[in-house]
């Protein structure tokens, strides 16, 4: 910026002087003193004009080169920033998948289920009333229709259709989905039914069953372990009410699995030899221990500091 100002400062007087010479030249006689002045000025100022033009050209070339180099550096920094952002996202995604796999292996280990891990690769269209997903595991992996599908949180659904490398799963939130359930500890049984976007509906067979919100449910299991194996966590009871004119209680259940966040799941290809009962349920959070108020204690007095009894009269004598 300073160099261009200096160049303009040099060119401005030259332009003024050139205009003056042109005016004088137009009014003077040829061969007169004006020609000599103009020739002397050209001889003196010509190299300065050429130098100034060369300087301006070099400054312009340097500016273009600097601008191009700055643009290339900015492009390189943008590309590097994009690469780092993609790497950070990939690392976060790998960490999330590793956590999901650990949770799935934990559930499979506790329930003694042999599972085939699979990823959700497609979701049923929104206009389809059925709530289904497609997994990237099929008959080549040992998957068959009527098998239980679970995740690291609990029950996902059941396989309804298979292909060599894929399978379709009916989700537990589908209105046509139902599963036999059993209450934790009490062993009371009932049926949980999908209800679309809302919580699942619960129907308990015994109206005398005392159920409170927060009670947890697991799958009861099916004959031949198809379509459901026993002991898979289903959800927590939200509320229970007695249906008038019936011998059963009904309520709602919040499932452990959120179908909108499914990614890594497992298809149970071999059921457990023994019903795991409540072993697969996550441990309940232990209430934080409240510190008991400190009791005020009287300061202890050492034996040496205690007052000694005064001597009796016999001792004095």
Classify residue 98: in a domain, yes or no: no
| Residues 121, 20 share a domain | no
Does residue 303 have a pLDDT over 50? no
Dihedral over alpha carbons 42, 43, 44, 45 (to 10 degrees)? 40
| Residues 141, 233 share a domain | yes
Classify residue 313: in a domain, yes or no: no
| Residues 121, 62 share a domain | no
| Residues 201, 138 share a domain | yes
pTM over 0.75: no
Please choose, from the candidates 101, 125, 96, the residue with its C-alpha nearest in 3D space to the C-alpha of residue 115. Answer: 101
| Residues 159, 250 share a domain | yes
Kindly report which listed range (84-93, 169-178, 224-233) carries the lowest average pLDDT score.
84-93
Band the pLDDT of 305: cuts 50, 70, 90: very low
Classify residue 91: in a domain, yes or no: no
Classify residue 103: in a domain, yes or no: no
Phi-psi region of 57 (alpha: psi -120 to 50; beta: other; left: phi over 0): alpha
Range of the domain at 72: 2-79
Question: What would the DSSP string read from start to end of 178-214?
Answer: EEEEEETTT--EEEEE--TTSPEEEEES-TT----TT
Residue 23: count other Cβ atoms within 10 Å of its Cβ: 10
Per the structure, how many domains does the chain have?
2
Classify residue 105: in a domain, yes or no: no
Dihedral over alpha carbons 78, 83, 86, 87 (to 10 degrees)? -140
Band the pLDDT of 30: cuts 50, 70, 90: low
Question: What would the DSSP string read from start to end of 9-38?
Answer: HHHHHHHHHHHHHHHHHHHSPTTSHHHHHH
| Residues 146, 219 share a domain | yes
Question: Cβ contacts of residue 130 below 8 Å, gap of 6+?
Answer: 124, 170, 174, 176
Question: What would the DSSP string read from start to end of 77-102?
Answer: HHHHHHHHHHHHHHHHHHHHHHHHHH
Phi and psi of 82, rounded to 5°?
-65, -40
Phi-psi region of 75 (alpha: psi -120 to 50; beta: other; left: phi over 0): alpha
Band the pLDDT of 79: cuts 50, 70, 90: confident
pLDDT the model gives residue 221 = 92
């Amino acid at each position: 910026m300073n160099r261009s100002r200096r160049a303009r400062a040099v060119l401005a007087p030259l332009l003024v002087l050139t205009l003056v010479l042109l005016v004088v030249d137009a009014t003077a006689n040829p061969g007169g003193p004006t020609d000599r002045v103009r020739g002397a000025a050209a001889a003196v100022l010509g190299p300065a004009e050429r130098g100034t033009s060369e300087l301006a050209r070099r400054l312009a070339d340097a500016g273009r080169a600097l601008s191009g180099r700055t643009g290339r550096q900015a492009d390189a920094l943008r590309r590097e920033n994009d690469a780092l952002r993609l790497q950070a996202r990939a690392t976060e995604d790998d960490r999330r998948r590793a956590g999901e796999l650990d949770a799935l292996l934990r559930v499979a280990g506790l329930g003694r289920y042999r599972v085939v891990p699979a990823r959700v690769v497609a979701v049923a269209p929104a206009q389809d009333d059925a709530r289904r997903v497609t997994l990237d595991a099929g008959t080549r992996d040992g998957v068959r229709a009527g098998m239980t599908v679970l995740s690291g949180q609990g029950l996902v659904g059941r396989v309804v259709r298979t292909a060599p490398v894929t399978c379709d799963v009916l989700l537990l939130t589908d209105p046509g989905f139902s599963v036999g359930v059993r209450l934790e500890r009490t062993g009371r049984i009932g049926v949980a039914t999908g209800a679309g976007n809302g919580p699942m509906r619960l129907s308990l067979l015994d109206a005398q069953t005392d159920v409170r919100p927060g009670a947890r449910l697991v799958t009861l299991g099916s004959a031949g372990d198809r379509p459901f194996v026993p002991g898979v966590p289903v959800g927590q009871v939200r509320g229970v009410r007695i249906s008038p004119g019936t011998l059963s209680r009904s309520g709602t259940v919040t499932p452990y699995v959120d179908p909108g966040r499914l990614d890594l799941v497992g298809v149970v290809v071999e059921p457990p030899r023994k019903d795991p009962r409540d072993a697969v349920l996550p441990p309940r959070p232990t209430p934080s221990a409240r510190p008991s108020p400190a009791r005020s204690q009287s300061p202890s007095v050492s034996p040496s500091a205690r007052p000694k009894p005064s001597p009796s009269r016999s001792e004095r004598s």
